[in-house]
């Protein structure tokens, strides 16, 4: 499903280049549940951004399905993301002008253009029940607590029913009950044949994964499981 | 696209009211000056006043567009991360801006009619006035669309991940 082949990524700021990823290779097949761990600044978020085509690696290749996303246009990358990727960011991000329902709708719409609204309502019902976010739907993201926002961000990623889920610290701001919910949700996604690439510092969450990679200084340092 | 426009229009009233007011100011200014041209004896003076005033207001509106574009860059990056290409976002917002401008323009035209009818008893016909307004719109509208599109495009140069991170 995803093939990452020896990628290098640089951040350039004021003429100084920071070598954030130094030759990472990784394969993710359908049904794979992969966790990435590693110290702060080791390049985990950068890897997720590169895989989804949100940022451009200067060397190496990334394939999603049969598309080499570092060779296609920016618009085409957006389309691939719409179709294949549900992304949970480390810092939950949502346009504040739209309510949570609208935000979820936009995410769903990106993958299901032209489909009936009732299909969205159905899916929304399901996702809300799983994550217990029903009361938040008419609220704007700016008025949510960190944990509530995190949960809606997870909902936004899974509502589109995409084959790949990329999660950057999905349990970041959550209490133990909600962490359990999130673990169940991710487990269910795996059972439905999705693949997950997850960054986490939570040992329990990481232990759910089939494989754990440790990233250090932009390189895969170790395979822990 | 229809959905984005619908959601966008319903959620950004403040911005649209501001832009609408600006456009209205332009059309009123243009109307009043044009009225003076129609009635004045020193036409050269009025025409140069008309030109300068209109250019100034256009600059103001262009600036406002860039501000609006700046406000939207984060949103654009965010929607791009979930799979809406940039052109999609930019097109929907251009359509919204054009709608707002057309509404303001119609209000401006109406105001001018009222002004004109109350102040003079001249025999300038409605269609004559409408043509002048139409000319103004046809000059201003493409300029606005271009400036707005350029502003949005300029704001979205970075990769979407960086656009979003900027905000943190
Ligand atoms: N926008 C940016 N501009 C410049 N450098 C950046 C940018 N984003 C990240 N970096 C640098 O890239 C390196 C990797 O950052 P990244 O965010 O991928 O780390 P991380 O593994 O996700 O860390 P954490 O566990 O704290 O989230 C860091 O040294 C960071 O300083
Ligand atoms: Mg990170």
Contact between chains at B82 and A82 (C-beta distance less than 8 A): yes
Predicted pLDDT of residue A141:
92
Q: What are the backbone angles phi and psi of residue A157, rounded to the nearest 5°?
A: -75, -35
Nearest to A56 among B3, B74, B159 (CB): B159
Predicted pLDDT of residue A14:
84
CA-CA distance, A153 to A161, in Å (whole number)? 14
CA atoms B17, B23, B28, B29: torsion sign: positive
Asked if A68 and A61 count as a contact pair (C-beta separation under 8 A), the reply is yes
Contact between chains at B7 and A102 (C-beta distance less than 8 A): yes
Measure B81 CA to nearest chain A CA, in Å: 7
Predicted pLDDT of residue B124:
63
Predicted pLDDT of residue B40:
67
Contact between chains at A82 and B83 (C-beta distance less than 8 A): yes
CA-CA distance, B82 to A162, in Å (whole number)? 11
pLDDT at B166 over 70: no
User: A54-72: b or e for each residue (b if 16 or more CB lie within 10 Å)?
Assistant: bbebeebebbbeebebbee
Residues of chain A found within 8 Å of residue B74, distances taken between Cβ atoms? 95
Nearest-5° angle of CA B94, CA B99, CA B102?
125
CA-CA distance, B55 to A162, in Å (whole number)? 50
Neighbours of A208 (CB within 10 A): 18
Predicted pLDDT of residue A78:
93
CA-CA distance, B64 to B69, in Å (whole number)? 8
Q: Is residue B167 very low, low, confident or very high in pLDDT (cuts 50, 70, 90)?
A: low
Considering only residues A148 and B38, tell me which one the structure prediction assigns the higher pLDDT: A148
Measure A49 CA to nearest chain B CA, in Å: 7
Asked if B148 and B69 count as a contact pair (C-beta separation under 8 A), the reply is yes
DSSP for residue A220: E
User: A88-109: b or e for each residue (b if 16 or more CB lie within 10 Å)?
Assistant: bbbbbbbbebbbbbbbbbbbbb
Contact between chains at A106 and B84 (C-beta distance less than 8 A): yes
Predicted pLDDT of residue B168:
45
Contact between chains at A106 and B4 (C-beta distance less than 8 A): yes
Predicted pLDDT of residue B122:
61
Mean pLDDT of all residues in B154-158: 83
Kindly report, residue by residue over A85-103, the tens digit of the pLDDT.
999 998 888 888 889 999 9
Residues of chain A found within 8 Å of residue B10, distances taken between Cβ atoms? none
pTM for the model: 0.85
DSSP for residue B166: T
C-alpha distance from residue A136 to each of A103, A176, B3, B10, B106 (Å): 12, 20, 21, 19, 40
What is the 3-class SS of A171-201, one letter each residue? Answer: CCCCCHHHHHHHHHHHHHHHHCCCEEEEECC
Predicted pLDDT of residue B76:
86
Q: Which helix (H) or strand (E) holds B32?
A: helix B13-39
For chain B, give every domain's residue range: 2-167
Taking the CA of residue A43 as reference, the ligand 1 atom at the shortest distance is 18
Going from the Cα of A169 to the center of ligand 2, the distance in angstroms, rounded, reads 8
Considering only residues B72 and A45, tell me which one the structure prediction assigns the higher pLDDT: A45
Q: Under CATH, what is the fold of the domain A27-56+81-223?
A: Rossmann fold (3.40.50)
DSSP for residue A135: G
Chain A from 117 to 156: CB within 8 A of any B CB: 156
pLDDT at B12 over 50: yes
Ligand 1 neighbours by CB, cut-off 6 Å: A 11, 13, 18, 20, 38, 40-46, 90; B 162, 165
Q: Which residues of chain A have pLDDT under 50?
A: none
Nearest Cα to Cα of residue B65 among B162, B152, B160: B152
Kindly report, residue by residue over B123-144, the tens digit of the pLDDT.
666 677 677 667 766 777 787 7
Nearest Cα to Cα of residue A155 among A113, A106, A211, A199: A106
Kindly report, residue by residue over A15-33, the tens digit of the pLDDT.
888 999 999 999 999 999 9
Contact between chains at B83 and A55 (C-beta distance less than 8 A): no
- Structure tokens that stand for A199 in this block: 């960054």
List CB contacts of A220: < 8 A, sequence separation 6 or more. Answer: A24, A25, A26, A213, A214
Predicted pLDDT of residue B120:
66
pLDDT at B150 over 50: yes
Predicted pLDDT of residue B147:
77
Kindly report, residue by residue over B81-122, the tens digit of the pLDDT.
999 998 888 888 888 777 877 777 777 777 777 776 676 666
Measure B159 CA to nearest chain A CA, in Å: 6
For chain A, give every domain's residue range: 27-56+81-223
Predicted pLDDT of residue A164:
95
Nearest Cα to Cα of residue A45 among A168, A171, A213: A168
Q: What's the mean per-residue pLDDT of chain B?
A: 75
Compare all CA atoms of chain B with the CA of A117 and give the residue at the minimum distance.
B3
Among B165, B166, B167, residue to substitute to test ligand 1 (most atoms within 8 Å of Cβ): B165
């Amino acid at each position: 499903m995803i093939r990452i082949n020896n990628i290098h990524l640089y951040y350039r700021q004021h003429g100084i280049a920071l070598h954030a990823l130094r030759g990472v290779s990784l394969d993710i097949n359908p049904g794979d549940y992969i966790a990435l761990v590693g110290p702060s600044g080791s390049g985990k978020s950068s890897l997720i951004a590169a895989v989804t085509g949100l940022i451009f690696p200067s060397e190496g290749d990334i394939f999603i399905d049969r598309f080499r996303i570092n060779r296609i246009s920016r618009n085409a990358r957006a389309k691939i993301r719409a179709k294949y990727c549900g992304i949970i960011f480390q810092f939950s991000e949502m346009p504040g002008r739209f309510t949570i329902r609208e935000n979820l709708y936009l995410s769903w719409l990106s993958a299901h253009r032209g489909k009936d609204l009732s299909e969205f309502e159905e899916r929304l019902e399901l996702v809300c029940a799983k994550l217990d976010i029903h009361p938040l739907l008419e609220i704007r993201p700016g008025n949510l607590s960190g944990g509530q926002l995190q949960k809606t961000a997870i909902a936004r990623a899974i509502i589109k029913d995409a084959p790949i889920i990329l999660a950057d610290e999905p349990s970041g701001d959550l209490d133990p009950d909600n962490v359990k919910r999130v673990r169940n949700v991710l487990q269910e996604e795996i059972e439905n044949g999705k693949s997950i690439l997850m960054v986490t510092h939570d040992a329990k969450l990481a232990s759910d994964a089939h494989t754990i990679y440790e990233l250090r200084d932009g390189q895969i340092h170790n395979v822990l499981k | 696209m229809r959905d984005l426009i619908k959601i966008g229009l319903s959620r950004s009233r403040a911005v649209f009211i501001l832009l609408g007011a600006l456009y209205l100011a332009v059309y009123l200014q243009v109307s009043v000056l044009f009225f003076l041209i129609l009635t004045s004896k020193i036409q050269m003076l009025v025409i140069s006043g008309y030109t300068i005033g209109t250019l100034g207001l256009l600059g103001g509106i262009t600036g406002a567009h860039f501000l609006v574009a700046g406000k939207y860059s984060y949103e654009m990056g965010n929607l791009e991360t979930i799979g809406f290409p940039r052109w999609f976002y930019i097109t929907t917002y251009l359509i919204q801006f054009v709608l707002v401008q057309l509404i303001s323009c119609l209000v401006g035209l109406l105001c001018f009619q009222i002004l004109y009818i109350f102040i003079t008893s001249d025999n300038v016909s409605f269609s004559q006035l409408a043509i002048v307004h139409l000319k103004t719109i046809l000059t201003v509208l493409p300029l606005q669309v271009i400036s707005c599109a350029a502003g949005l495009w300029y704001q979205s140069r970075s990769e979407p991940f960086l656009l979003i991170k900027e905000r943190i």
